[in-house]
């Protein structure tokens, strides 16, 4: 039986960007706890996005830093959960370099829309913009590369997208601009970055063993059981 450290080494080797992003989010989670907790003041001091501070003080680092901060354990856990289960697939499709671009640029697109159109004094944090970018690009692929997915997976992705967009609009304390900014940016990036064939490694045995997926053909990347959502769809992007 493999030890935990061996499993972590394998995960970092196979999915380096997803693993690194999870590590950064985890480090920032503990930094938040040990520097004052989840108070608004502490989150702002760590780089939470305050549009007025970006405009008046030229604190542009907030556009990037905010995507690595979270406002509670549940917020951190659910976003990390989503990144773990979906990030590995998107990284496998696009490769590590393109996936890192998708994640970071989607997050920046989210922050830019909040900065330009949001309340100048409201603090915004979280990886939701980046995660909505991932969701947007997956939705796009169900239309532009439907042969990469089983039919049930296409239905699952589209249903998940609709549910989360509805919750974005209806639920309180959710940044509508942040979610939509990341979502639109992800779709635009998909139009630019989507390869003709998924950027799969040749080590498919590992992939199939870890996720119990069976490829119907060389391009079929997803198995329904790997991407179907759990009970709390809205919490994935809170």
pLDDT at 34: 97
Backbone region of residue 215 per phi and psi (left: phi > 0; alpha: psi in -120 to 50; beta: other values): beta
Mean pLDDT of 85-102: 93
Going by C-beta distance under 8 Å and a sequence separation of 6 or more, which residues neighbour residue 114? 49, 51, 124, 175, 177, 178, 181
Task: Give the whole-angstrom CA distance, residue 236 versus residue 215.
Answer: 27
The structural domains of the chain, with segments of one domain joined by +, span 4-229
Q: With beta carbons less than 8 A apart as the criterion, state whether 133 and 103 touch.
A: yes
pTM: 0.82
pLDDT at 199: 81
* Tens digits of residue pLDDT in 176-213: 999 999 999 999 999 999 998 888 743 443 344 344 44
Q: With beta carbons less than 8 A apart as the criterion, state whether 182 and 133 touch.
A: yes
Look over the chain and give the mean of its residue pLDDT values, rounded to a whole number: 86
* Tens digits of residue pLDDT in 34-79: 999 999 999 999 999 999 999 999 999 999 999 999 999 999 999 9
Domain 4-229: which topology?
Rhomboid-like fold (1.20.1540)
Mean pLDDT of 128-154: 95
Q: State the catalytic residues.
A: 128, 179
């Amino acid at each position: 039986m493999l030890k935990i450290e061996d499993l972590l080494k394998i995960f970092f080797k196979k999915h380096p960007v997803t693993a690194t992003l999870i590590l950064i989010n985890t480090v920032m989670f503990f930094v938040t706890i040990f520097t004052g907790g989840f108070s608004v003041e502490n989150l702002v001091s760590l780089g939470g996005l305050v549009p007025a501070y970006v405009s008046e003080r030229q604190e542009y680092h907030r556009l990037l830093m905010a995507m690595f901060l979270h406002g509670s354990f549940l917020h951190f856990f659910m976003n990390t959960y989503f990144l773990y289960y979906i990030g590995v697939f998107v990284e496998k499709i696009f490769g590590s370099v393109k996936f890192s671009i998708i994640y970071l640029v989607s997050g920046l697109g989210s922050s830019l829309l909040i900065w330009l159109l949001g309340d100048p004094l409201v603090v915004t944090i979280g990886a939701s913009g980046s995660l909505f970018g991932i969701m947007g690009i997956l939705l796009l692929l169900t239309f532009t590369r439907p042969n990469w997915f089983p039919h049930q997976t296409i239905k699952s992705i589209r249903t998940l997208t609709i549910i989360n967009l509805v919750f974005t609009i209806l639920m309180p304390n959710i940044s509508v601009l942040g979610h939509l900014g990341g979502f639109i940016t992800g779709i635009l990036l998909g139009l630019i970055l989507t390869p003709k064939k998924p950027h799969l490694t040749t080590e498919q045995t590992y992939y199939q063993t870890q996720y119990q997926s069976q490829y119907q053909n060389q391009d079929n990347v997803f198995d329904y059981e790997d991407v179907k959502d759990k009970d709390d769809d809205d919490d994935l992007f809170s």
